Structures are given as C-alpha cells and as structure tokens.
Amino acid sequence: MKKNSLTTALLAGLAGAAGLATTAHAVNLNPDGLGQALIYPYYGVNSGNQTIITVVNTANDVKAVKVRFLESRNSREVIDFNLYLSPFDVWTGSVFALDANGAGNLVTLDNSCTVPLIKGNTALPSVGGNRYVPFRNVQYTGAFADGGGGSLARTREGHIEIIEMGTLLGDGSTVSSNGRLAEEATHSAGNPISCARLNAAWGTGGAWASAGAGSAANNTNAPTGGLFGSGAVVDVANGTMLAYNSEAIDGFFSTGSPASDLHFPPGSVLPTLNNARTGSPVPPVQSFVFRGGATSTVVSSLWADRITPANALAGVDAVSAVFTQDAIYNEYTTDPNLGAVTEWVITFPTKRFYVDHTAFGGPSSLPVGPFTGTRFALAPFAGLGFTAISGGALVASFACEDVTLAIFDREEQTTTQPIDFSPQPTSGVNQLCEETNTLTFKQSGAESAILGTPSSRYLNVDAPFADGWMRMGFTTNSDTGNDPGFLVSRAAASSDGDTYAGLPVTGFEAVNVINRAATPGNLANYSGFFKHRGSRVITGS
C-alpha cells in the first residue's frame, strides 16, 4: 500500500475508533465564513449611528431563516421575524433611532419575503415613506421582567442571530393549499412571486399553521448552510462606516427530516443556539474545535454537571465550545495628534442560556456552566435574568465576569501597576456584566466617542500608553471552590475528557482617526473594525 493511502486509512480508522467529528457532522466556526447560523456581535443606534446588516444565500435553494435582534444587557429578544431567501439572494436591513433615547427600529427596502411583512406593510409606521418595525420591550417587562429596567433604551444596542431553519421544497412535486412555497419566494425579474402567500401559509388554515404535528415542516427540508453576512455601523454626520463580517457557525443542524427540522413560526423564540443537533438521538451534540492548527475535539454536553432538566443545554454547549477562549487580544490607539479613539466590543453570544434564570423555568433548572452567574442558581437566590432576588429584595447584578488585563505599548513596554476599569465595580475587580459590552480607552464623555454607548454602561481603560495592545483574560483561580455553583478557573470537561478554560466570546476593536490636514479647511475621518484574536486552553484527559 502506498504511504499516502496507508496514512489515509490509518486516520480513518483512528477517527472511527476515537469518535472524532468531522466538520460536516459537528458544530464548528467555519474559517471560510459560510454557515447555517450567523452571529453579528453588535448593532447600535446611539449618537445618530445606524447599523446596516446583510445576509447572503450562496445556495441554489430557497432558505427559511430566523432573524433575531437581542438587546445588550440581558440579551432579551427585541424583535424577530422569518425571512425567506431566494436562491443566490441578498437581504439587507438598517437599524436606526428616531430620537436620542427611544427604541431602535428596523427598516428594509429589500424585496425578499419576510413574515410578517415589513416592506409595504401599511399596518406599520413609516418614515420617509418607508415602513419600519419598532423594537419592543415585551421580553423584559411585565411577566418577563428581568430586573434590568423596562426602558426601550435597552433596545438601542445589542447583537444579532440569524439561524437557517430549512430549505423550501417547490419543484412541483409537493404542492400546498397555498401554492408551491419555494416558487412563491423565488425572485422573478427582481421580485418574489408572492410574499403574501408565504404569509398566508402561517395564517389560519395555512400549510405551516395547520393543526397536527409537523405542519411547520410541510414543504421543507433540513438546513444546508451556505449563508454569510456582514454588519456596518454608519455615522452619517461624521462620514464613517465601520464594517465587520458575521461569525459563521456550520454543522449546526446536520440531521433531520421534514417532520423534525428547525422551521418555527414567526414570533416564536425558537429556534435558538440551543437547537444545535449533530446526531440522533440528542444528546450528544458534537463540536469541531480548532486548536494548535489541526487538532479537533469532540464535545458532548460540555458542561455536563446538570441540575435539571438533564442535558437541557446540550445544543448550546456545542456552540459555546467553538467560541470558548481563555483570552482575547487586540490593539488600541489614542494618539491625540491623530485625534484617535478606540473602543472594544466584547460579546458573549451564549451567556443568557447559562445565567438567565427565566430561560428554563427558574433557578432550579439552570445547569452549571462557564459563567459566574450560575453560582446563584442555588437557594436562597431566585434569579430573574442577570439579577438576583434574596428575601424579596433586589440584589446587584450577579452575572459579572472577572477579567484580567495586561497592556503593552508598541515597544514591548508594560506596566507593573494594576490596570483598572472605570467606573470600578464595587467588587474592586475588573468585570464585564452585560452580554454585549463596550470598552473604551482614555475616554470620559457622556457617550463613548464611536459607538455612543452611555457612560453608565461603557467601561473605560485609562491605559498608561497612548498606543499599544491589550490582553483580556477570562480564566481566574481567585475562587476557593467552596461555592458549589461555580467552576474554579471556569474550566469544564467535555464527555471525551478534554477540559476547556475561559468563556465563549466574540467581538472586535473599533478605531476612528481624524486627519485635520486632509485639505485646507476640511477634516477627513478614517475608521475600521478589527476582529479580536484569541487563544485557547484545551487540555486532554
């Protein structure tokens, strides 16, 4: 046997023996940027900013997609809808605000079908002749109050999830009472055949709303992937646009049939990142995690020490694994001669599944997970979102994550003095307390200079150098281990014995520079987003 053939056979045998997952049958962050689920780390409308988002279907089939906007404090949903993408289609939307303190809003001029309808929906308010959807506070007020306040201002910043729910059938072999649904969504001369029929399919008596198990799966197949997207924060007044690529989760749902796919009604809080499935029965759900350039790790119920219900978060554990890093790294510049300002966005895309005590019916149903907030899953605390109630009194937010900071200038110099956030939390330790966090460098204004995050919510680093780079670490050994609800060093062992340290995290650096000498009497603004780099600590059993 030739050497290369022997190697191939040996690797195949080892993979079968060890149960290693391939990327096709395991949740993974696709380095090529295409996937079944997309994470957009940030949207915002403060200081007159608008956020433009796009999603692209590279496949030759019609895709049913869930689009969900989540506010920054507790990642409660502020709007979602179903989107039906034609083959090779692009959908675009813009998030904006009508005033300085009001809700965020979504407008789209795109022809792709949404359910409910957005473009041309006369039941919606309009601005400039275009219909828009106001973001809402339903999921964090009233019966869903989470202790974080009910203001619509919470909707002004956050992050976005887009999850493929399946592909539509419509080659003429499967016809519903509302027509061949794939054909209805497919563009002809730039327009879908009938978005109204897709909406009717979810209405009374429609093909997707009919009584009986699996009706939402009529005329659908399981997801196939091939989505990519981008976001851009546009400051119209200053003429800047900061753009980023979405994170692409592939292998998210690799099994299923028309009766068991991810196609959920518009307005449903499903599917979520916890719906990941890589095999049957569920669990386990597997992940493919890149480390050291080539090594994969199988994850099955990563944080397996459950309270109840057993394995409630097997799906999101697999997603958390591919985002888990023990530290992130990025640069900053605050050079006054350049008018330079820098901000970081740090987003924990799966945090709510582990610390939001309303997500699974109360604190007794929370699993042990990687986040600090899970330590209060036990009595005497009854959790509401990212806050805690004890003896009927509101306790300060307990979902804060301790982080360590190390800063270097551009000439390898560092400081021996502790680097502190301001304002400093009462704990005296650097902490990130929200799901989408804004970090500034050498700022003290009422709003952050780029993203416009209010001073009550952004954290500032008074860096000792004008320019340089910073390491933010997410592992800690400060806990004694006496608290049964907290994992020392935030390390968790997967079912195959590998131990993950750190937190599931994503985000980027935002930079703006002003050139006062571009041309006489004129200013020029330059801006950019730069994805955080990260390191992993995964140790074998």
Query: What is the residue whose two structure tokens read 């099955």?
Result: 300
pLDDT of residue 540: 67
pLDDT of residue 450: 95
Dist. CA 526–CA 305, nearest whole Å: 48
Range with the poorest average pLDDT among 50-54, 139-143, 224-228: 139-143
Question: Which distant-in-sequence residues (6+ apart) come within 8 Å of 274 by Cβ?
Answer: 313, 314, 315, 316, 319, 353
CA dist 112 to 189, 226, 272, 302, Å? 12, 17, 22, 38
pLDDT of residue 199: 92
List % helix, strand, coil for the chain (3-state, nearest 5): 15, 35, 50
CA angle 142–66–454, rounded 5-degree value: 55
Dist. CA 371–CA 374, nearest whole Å: 6
Q: Across residues 85-103, what is the average pLDDT?
A: 95
Dist. CA 213–CA 240, nearest whole Å: 50
Residue 510 pLDDT level (bands cut at 50, 70, 90) = very high
- Model confidence at 513: pLDDT above 70: yes
User: From edge to edge, which strands make up the β-sheet containing 126-127?
Assistant: 126-127, 130-134, 104-107, 90-97, 49-57, 227-235, 240-245
Residue 401 pLDDT level (bands cut at 50, 70, 90) = confident
Question: Which distant-in-sequence residues (6+ apart) come within 8 Å of 75 by Cβ?
Answer: 158, 159, 351, 352, 356, 435, 436
- Model confidence at 290: pLDDT above 80: no
Bridge partner residues of 370 (DSSP): none
DSSP string, 159-178: EEEEEEEEEE--SSSS-BTT
Neighbours of 336 (CB within 10 A): 8
pLDDT of residue 375: 43
For the whole model, what pTM was predicted? Answer: 0.88
pLDDT of residue 261: 72
